[in-house]
Amino acid sequence: MTINSILSTLKNLIDVSIVWILIYSVLKNLKNNVKMIMIFKGVLIIIIIKLLSDYLNLKTVGLILEYTITWGPLALIIIFQPEIRNALEQLGKKQILTKHRSLTMDEREKVVYEIMNAIDYMRKARIGGLIVIERELSLNDYVDKSKTLDADISAELLISIFFPRNPLHDGGVIIQGNKITCAGAVFPISLNSKINKKLGTRHRAALGISEESDCLALIVSEETGKISIAINGVLNYNLSIDDARMILIEELKPKKELLLDDQFEEESEADNDEEK
């Protein structure tokens, strides 16, 4: 093989890799984004109707769809400009090392301990609350529009924020690392039509922010005291205090530790096989 052929092969591999990375990113966002799913379904329906019109020789329908396909992308950009902007912003918000990953095991345990103590008190006292924990995707856009606190996390502070007479109790709290960064945060409401109509604004806001980022959103219902956690657009509803604690511990565990745990299990299994 000549140098030119090797370079040509490398260029083709890079080209194909970039395309697959883009496809993967689109599908990954599509899975967790209700609005993008709606757009995808609409485009898919138009393509199917266009193919049927060509097969059945439906001239009028075909002509209308040709105009739709020609001008559709421009219309989608105009109509869904906020969603497209958010998707591009999320690409720029990716972080190599996130704040919660830099925490030590003791610090993570303290964060979970303080949050769950607050949640337990709030559910018993029927105090509604929404606590959002940042992970890989930055929530700084919501932090900038909220009341900045930058305080060490504590159960007492969380409870006082959501106390009914506190001016900030209607909004959400954002936790970054082991700090309560802000309070009174306002999050986008989920537009998922499958959401139970009995769920209130807090639950819909938790689902909305979990659809747009990879955060953890904990909700305490003011009416029932039930605990829920929204992750990746899915609401885990009516959890026990122990189940909520376990979910929090698992979801906040760094990927490196998960890999080490997996490796440890694989090595243990291999040792057991050798002993047998």
- The pLDDT value recorded for residue 257 is 47
- The pLDDT value recorded for residue 113 is 95
pTM of the model: 0.64
Residues of the chain with CATH 3.40.1700.10: 100-256
The gap from C-alpha 45 to its chain's centroid, in whole angstroms, comes to 27
Tokens of 14: 């890079």
Fold of 100-256: YojJ-like (1 (3.40.1700)
Tokens of 263: 């490796």
Sign of CA dihedral 261, 238, 137, 79: positive
- The pLDDT value recorded for residue 95 is 45
Nearest CA among 212, 251, 215, 245 for reference residue 230: 215
Half-sphere exposure of 129 (CA within 13 A, CB side): 30
Q: Please name the residue ranges forming H helices in the chain.
A: 3-32, 34-56, 59-79, 81-93, 105-125, 140-144, 155-162, 201-212, 241-252, 255-275
Mean pLDDT by 10 residues, the chain (276 residues): 78 85 69 64 83 84 80 74 63 48 80 95 95 89 90 94 88 93 92 81 92 92 94 92 94 63 49 50
Q: Are 252 and 100 in contact (CB under 8 A)?
A: yes
- The pLDDT value recorded for residue 264 is 43
DSSP state of 94: B
The residue count for the chain: 276
